[in-house]
Structure 1
Amino acid sequence: MTGQPTDLAALQRRLVEFAAARDWEPFHTPKNLAAALSVEASELLEIFQWLTPGQSSAVMADPGSAHRVRDEVADVLAYLLQFCAALEIDVLAALAAKIDRNEERFPRPGRPGDPPAG
């Protein structure tokens, strides 16, 4: 543990400050960040590419593959947070709104004993 804050907003600020300290802002355009996000997501997928469903479910049992998965997940999240910072998107508000829309689009199916809808 680094002793650094781990809330999402603090991590997002750290990423922005990290890039600023290295003068990377000119390269952190929405297009470049979206491309980098796609590349990192593909690197995560590559770990699972030829695994069976059972092997993919057990990937975290192997320390080497677990480390790779955690690193790629971190890279995906880092680029997503930087992308959101560049476009001033509140990632948690965007996610909450999307869940709300999905709950309307895909209502929970009735279960035996549930009262009829309406």
Structure 2
Amino acid sequence: MAEQEAGNRREGARFEIASLRFDARGLIPAIAQARSGEVLMMAWMNAESLGETLATGQVTYWSRSRSELWRKGATSGHVQRLVELRVDCDRDCLLLIVDQIGPACHTNRPSCFYTAVRDGAEVVLTEPA
């Protein structure tokens, strides 16, 4: 009952980035999903990248390999426009509903999840465009 009351209190409350549960590195997983429901990719965000995403509507991630903000599509033109931000029940994972322009994956595929495991073998589902 207390959990339900806490959830009800959040309803209509102003969203605060600080209310999220970031990991020890200050990161939170973010799953990008098209309006159609197709899962496009998973990347990491920090408070700064999330703030920029909310301010501009253009999805911005945190690049762990480069230790810098990564504006999706800045070099490829394959941008993601934020439609809706969703927070999971534990507040430690984000779901970004996006309008994807061009392929989401750096391999030039619509989704990064183009490999399935079937009967113990990997099967490529989508070839690059």
Q: Give the TM interval when normalised to the shorter protein.
A: under 0.3
Question: Looking at both structures, which has the greater relative contact order when contacts are Cα pairs under 8 Å and sequence separation is at least 6?
Answer: 1
Larger radius of gyration: 1
TM-score computed with the length of structure 1 as normaliser: 0.22
